[in-house]
A and B are shown apart, each in its own frame.
Chain A
Amino acid sequence: GAGVSQTPSNKVTEKGKYVELRCDPISGHTALYWYRQSLGQGPEFLIYFQGTGAADDSGLPNDRFFAVRPEGSVSTLKIQRTERGDSAVYLCASSLLGLVATFGSGTRLTVV
């Protein structure tokens, strides 16, 4: 597609539930990034894929968070046993040469 697409745009879930957030990067972009942004803060790095493999997952806060990119295109961020502190906007970005990143509009996750 023309841009990075993230679905859903909004997700409300109950504490303890499992959620999946999807990212469709720009076609042909090999690098894909997930960030998390809390209100009034800058985006916080979570994980970075180069192709199908996670090149850097040092930003994942704990083992409840996991992300996959099985075919080197679409990526899914998975959060198990959600907690209220997981509420944030989750941003996905992709890039071709690893310099300028194109961001999606984000998924606003609210854990109640």
Chain B
Amino acid sequence: SQQGEEDPQALSIQEGENATMNCSYKTSINNLQWYRQNSGRGLVHLILIRSNEREKHSGRLRVTLDTSKKSSSLLITASRAADTASYFCATDLGNTPLVFGKGTRLSVIA
């Protein structure tokens, strides 16, 4: 079963635009993470936000977390063609395996 549900399933934007992806989950969590995957192979960790945090930044990435709505968003600013990938949110309850959503496929057109 998958806890997270990303929205939209697919997103296509022009280079330079911002990309926003959303994630909703069902149960209480300890942490929420975002991962990126190229070409259906290994995932790369992008950012972790704890349940007591509301916003976090890393370079061109901005993540928000609203535990009352059980949702998170990932914003990529000034997108580049190299940002084209699938993006997944993953949640954990602390010392439990990550549970992933189905992902958002982002296409950035040069």
Contacts and interface: CB of A to CB of B under 8 A. Distances in A.
Interface residues of B, number: 23
Contact of A42 (B41, B97, B102): B102
B23 to A, nearest CB: 11
B22 interface: no
B59 interface: no
A102 B4 CA distance: 20
A45 B98 contact: yes
Nearest to B40: A89
Interface in B4-47: 4, 31, 33, 35, 40-45
Interface residues of A, number: 26
B2 A44 contact: yes
Contacts of A33: 97-98
B44 A42 contact: no
A43 B40 contact: no
Interface in B77-99: 88, 92, 95-99
A4 to B, nearest CB: 8
B98 to A, nearest CB: 6
Contacts of A2: none
A39 B88 CA distance: 14
A84 B23 CA distance: 31
Contacts of B102: 40-42
B33 A100 contact: yes
Given A33-B97, A56-B96, A100-B48, A43 B41 contact: no
6 contacts: A42-B103, A45-B100, A89-B41, A91-B42, A101-B45, A103-B44
What are the nearest 6 A-B pairs in CB distance?
A42-B100, A105-B42, A103-B42, A103-B43, A48-B97, A42-B102
